[in-house]
Amino acid sequence: MDEVDGYPASAGVEGDPVSLAKKRTQNFTFAKRVFTSTPTLKSTSRIYREFMRGTREEWEIKCKHCGEHSQAIFDDIRFEKEVTAENGRKKEYEVTSAVWRCPKCNGTMTEYEVKRAPAKWVPYNPNALSRGIRSFHINAFLSPWSKWTDQCK
C-alpha cells in the first residue's frame, strides 16, 4: 500500500481500505504487508502508527571524522545564506551552501559526502522483530533527487 496517509477513511461503503487489504492477506502464512507513505500529521497518520508498531529503524550515516553513526536531521544541517532582497523589515534570502554537522563530534560533511557515506539501518524498537514487524524511516535529506539548498526554500 503506497502513500497510505492519503487514503480515504472508507473505500466506498466497504470500510477502511487498509483494514480491507490486511484481511485479504490473512489466509496466507507467508504474506508480506508493505506500507509506505510520506507522513502527515502524527495524530492521524496511518504510516506513523504502523512505524511505531515495528522495529523503528532509522537510516544512519557514518561520520568520516569520528566513525559514529547518526541520522541526518534538519537540526544538524547548517545553512549559509545571503540576503538577495530587502524591503523595509522584510528580507529575502538565498541559501548558498549547506553542510551536515555530526551531533557526536561536531565534524562537518558536505551533502555529497553524506549521501555517499557508509550507512546502516539502526532499530530503536528491536523487540518488534519477534512479532515480524519491521519499520523504516528515511528523511528527504538523504534523497538523491533533491538538494539541501532547495529543501529550505
Residues that bind Zn ion (CB under 5 A): 63, 65-66, 102, 104-105, 107
Contact 65, 136 (CB under 8 A): no
Residue 10 CB, nearest approach to Zn ion (Å): 48
CB nearer to Zn ion: give 4 or 72. Answer: 72
Q: Give residue for cell 485479504.
A: 24
CB nearer to Zn ion: give 66 or 73. Answer: 66
CB nearer to Zn ion: give 22 or 62. Answer: 62
Residue 63 CB: number of other CB atoms within 10 A? Answer: 24
Residue 100 CB, nearest approach to Zn ion (Å): 10
CB nearer to Zn ion: give 4 or 102. Answer: 102
Residue 64 CB, nearest approach to Zn ion (Å): 8
CB nearer to Zn ion: give 4 or 63. Answer: 63
Residue 96 CB, nearest approach to Zn ion (Å): 24
Residue 92 CB, nearest approach to Zn ion (Å): 34
Q: Largest Cα–Cα distance of the chain, in whole Å?
A: 67
